[in-house]
Amino acid sequence: MCQLCACAGVGVGVRGSTFAAHLTDGLAPAPTVALRTSWGATERVTRIGPVIARYSRPEMTRVWSDEAKLASWLAVELAVVDAWAQIGAISAETASAIRARAVVPSPERVAEIERKTNHDVAAFVDAVAGDLGDDGRWFHYGLTSSDVLDTALALTVQDGGGIVLDGIDRALRAVMDRAEEHRDTLTIGRTHGVHAEPTTFGLKLAGWAFQLDRDRRRVGAAVEGLRVGKMSGAVGTYAAAPPEIERLACEALGLEPAPSSTQILQRDRHAELLSALALLASSLERFALEVRHLARTEVREVEEPFAEGQKGSSAMPHKRNPIVAERICGLARVVRGHAQVGHENVALWHERDISHSSAERVVLPDAFLAVDYMLDRFARLVEGLVVRPERMRENLEATGGLFFSQRLLLALVDSGLDRDSAYRAVQRHAMRAWDEGLDFRELVRGDAELAARVDLDAVFDLGAFTEHVDVVLARLRSIQPQEESVRA
């Protein structure tokens, strides 16, 4: 899922044939094998592919491909050429001629030139300018490499961010639909993994939906925070190109000029983005972890979809494991690790060093690819989740009504008994029911003193636990997932 490169050169993944078995379920094809033969050089190059194609989907893979990267570099360069023409530094005819003749070079061509230059942007510039004749002198005029790299990366983030936001909306719609479906499906709530009080499965899912909505806003804000470009030159002083060039070029690209930059855009923006993706991954892990618990044999309140012909184990034919949920939990750890790298990249030497570059070539594509995959699998999981209300009711009753303990406590307090005396009276029966496997309600009904103080039929009313579920579900309806793509 990454562009592997420890230098400024074109990243190339090193892949082995053992990964071929992973290329199923509509996943992105493996790239051609490319082996590093010396510092910064490769024998063969193809478009950048993910380290693990198993966890990469085609659309996001294309966004982070070599071809897309080089196309975005060219878009930035041509926007700057047009800007020079707009301020009269070069003729409109020259700008038009450059735009007409400039083509996106192949990754192979750029890598070939880079073997000599040992610099990927310089190789790209040579590859394009070489076909422009005398007009090629205006290509990359007044720019430094990071003017192109950071501005183009902002374009890539907009594309990748749009896909992620679309994925959040799909997952959100799935969760909201299932929440409405199970608004009245009683289940036991658990704290510390121990039965607490009844809730509904719909209410549980509503909490997931609100969290996904917060993730959507966080990711959206972080993507918007990187809707910026810079053409301020080697140390941010506009010494080689005036601010008007930056303004015009960014406007043409749909970006805002960064209010201040050094040789690069400050990396707090990228750290914020990776942090938002990590929080999203953590949310998905939280939901997946709940599915894993509820799918345990002893619980068995939900099950992942299990397709005809699917095998849960190579050795045990009976197995139906929560593998999708487990996969989501595992990938969340990867994305959180990438967020840490983003934070490490914030502090750089003076106006810029290159230590962030190699790390970003790994973590940015990785994080986007992983989160995109996680969202897709999570949405499928929720859409096809097998819910077993009858099993939920069995588990609810497993403790003989112990979950009524708080209602009895409050009823006794309302009757005039002091809280500690009420607590001890209820606890006495609760611990006996717990230790001896007796029905808590029957024990309480057999206590003449308690029965005389409160209306036990009202105390042991299951409906009291779900009386206000509609309040939360009504709030849920205020969330509006986007029906159309939010991408610019």
Contact 412, 425 (CB under 8 A): yes
Of 38, 182, 283, 313, the active-site residue reads 313
Tokens representing residue 251 in the block: 């406007």
Q: Helix (H, G, I), strand (E, B), or coil: what is residue 449?
A: helix
Phi then psi for residue 122, to 5 deg, are -60, -40
How far is residue 208's CA from residue 285's CA, in Å, rounded to a whole number?
11
Q: Which residues contact 165 (CB under 8 A, 6 or more apart)?
A: 216, 219, 220, 223, 482, 486, 487
CA torsion angle 83 87 90 96 (round to 10): 50
**356 in active site:** no
Tokens representing residue 309 in the block: 């012909």
∠ CA 350-69-148, nearest 5°, is 40
The bridge status of strand 228-229 relative to strand 256-257 is: parallel
Contact 365, 3 (CB under 8 A): yes
Of 38, 192, 350, 478, the active-site residue reads 192
How far is residue 474's CA from residue 176's CA, in Å, rounded to a whole number?
11
Looking at residue 402, the DSSP 8-state letter turns out to be G
∠ CA 390-393-397, nearest 5°, is 145
Find tokens 């430094």 and name the residue. Answer: 144
Contact 214, 208 (CB under 8 A): no
Q: Helix (H, G, I), strand (E, B), or coil: what is residue 198?
A: strand
Phi-psi region of 465 (alpha: psi -120 to 50; beta: other; left: phi over 0): alpha
Tokens representing residue 327 in the block: 């996969």
Q: Which residues contact 373 (CB under 8 A, 6 or more apart)?
A: 55, 56, 57, 60, 331
Instruction: Measure Cα distances from 357 to 1, 12, 149, 150, 259 in Å.
Output: 16, 15, 10, 10, 22
∠ CA 219-279-471, nearest 5°, is 85
**343 in active site:** no
Which residue from 328, 373, 484, 378 is spatially nearest to 26, judged by alpha carbons? 373
H-state helical runs in 295-418:
323-344, 355-384, 389-396, 405-414
Tokens representing residue 417 in the block: 């008994």
Instruction: Tell me which residues are annotated as active site.
Output: 192, 313
